[in-house]
Chains A and B, each alone.
Chain A
Amino acid sequence: EDQVTQSPEALRLQEGESSSLNCSYTVSGLRGLFWYRQDPGKGPEFLFTLYSAGEEKEKERLKATLTKKESFLHITAPKPEDSATYLCAVQAGGGYNKLIFGAGTRLAVHP
C-alpha cells in the first residue's frame, strides 16, 4: 500500500536555528514527490516537485532533497514567517494522478 510518513509531527525552532523535516514514503513507481506549505485557514501552497533520487531543489531558505526512500526539507536560518505546516505528498505509478499526503509537520519559529 502506498504510504507517506512525516516526522517530526511538530518542531519548534529559534529564529536562525537550521533544521530538517523528514518525509518517508513507500510507493509503487514514484512519479513525483511534492512539498507544500499550509498556513492556518488556507489551502496548501506548492513549493517543490522532485522526480528522481539525487535531485535537489532550492527556494530562499528552503532546500528539498530526494532519495529512493525519503525526502528532506532543509530549512536554513529560519524566520518567524516560515512558521506553517509543511506537507509532503507522492504521486504513484499505474496511471493514478491523485496525491497521497503525509500528516504534515507543524513548524513554529520563535524570535
Chain B
Amino acid sequence: GAGVSQSPSNKVTEKGKDVELRCDPISGHTALYWYRQSLGQGLEFLIYFQGNSAPDKSGLPSDRFSAERTGGSVSTLTIQRTQQEDSAVYLCASSLEQSSNQPQHFGDGTRLSIL
C-alpha cells in the first residue's frame, strides 16, 4: 500500500493501562505528525518529527504522552496511565519536506476507547 498505515485500527483498554499506537508513513516522506480528533471537535496537533531534528512536542497534552520515531520511518505514540478523556481517534500524517508547506497525508487512525 502506498498510504500511511496505522495500527491497531481500534483499541479498547481499561483506565490506568498503557497503550502504544503505531504509524508507518508513506515511503520517502521525511516529516511525520500525530493529531488527535475528539468527538465533535477539530483535529488537535500533538507532535511533529522531521528527519534527525528534535521533535516539536508542543501539542502533547501531558507528560503521560510520548512519541518516538525510529530510523526516520515508523513512529510509536505511547500513552501511559490512560484516562477516560484520552478516548479519541489518533491520526498520523506524513509529508515530503522539500518545502515546509507540502500537504500532509493522513492514515485512517486508531480509535482509542478507555473504559
Does B bind A?
A: yes
Residues of chain A touching chain B, judged by Cβ–Cβ distance below 8 Å, are 4, 31-32, 34, 36, 41-46, 49, 51, 87, 89, 91, 95-104
The answer on a CB contact under 8 Å between B4 and A46 is no
Given contact pairs A98-B45, A101-B42, A101-B43, a sample of 12 additional A-B residue pairs in the complex whose CB atoms are under 8 Å apart? A43-B106, A46-B105, A91-B100, A91-B101, A96-B56, A97-B33, A98-B58, A99-B45, A101-B35, A103-B41, A103-B42, A104-B42
The answer on a CB contact under 8 Å between B104 and A32 is no
Give Cα A15–Cα B28 distance, bound, in whole angstroms.
40
Partner of B108 from the list A42, A51, A102 (CB cut-off 8 Å) is: A42
Q: Given A43-B91, A97-B48, A103-B42, are A51 and B101 also a contact pair (CB < 8 Å)?
A: yes
Give the number of residue pairs across the A-B interface with Cβ within 8 Å. Answer: 61
Residues of chain B touching chain A, judged by Cβ–Cβ distance below 8 Å, are 4, 31, 33, 35, 40-45, 48, 50, 56, 58-59, 91, 93, 100-101, 103-109
| Chain A nearest CB, measured from B97 CB (Å) | 8
The answer on a CB contact under 8 Å between B43 and A87 is yes
The answer on a CB contact under 8 Å between A43 and B101 is no
Q: Given A96-B56, A97-B56, A98-B48, are A44 and B100 also a contact pair (CB < 8 Å)?
A: no
Partner of A97 from the list B41, B43, B50 (CB cut-off 8 Å) is: B50
A95 proximity list for chain B (CB < 8 A): 100
| Chain B nearest CB, measured from A86 CB (Å) | 12
The answer on a CB contact under 8 Å between A43 and B33 is no
Give Cα A99–Cα B31 distance, bound, in whole angstroms.
13
The answer on a CB contact under 8 Å between A43 and B108 is yes
Considering only CB atoms, which chain B residue lies closest to A39 in the complex? B108
Give Cα A99–Cα B107 distance, bound, in whole angstroms.
15
Give Cα A41–Cα B93 distance, bound, in whole angstroms.
16
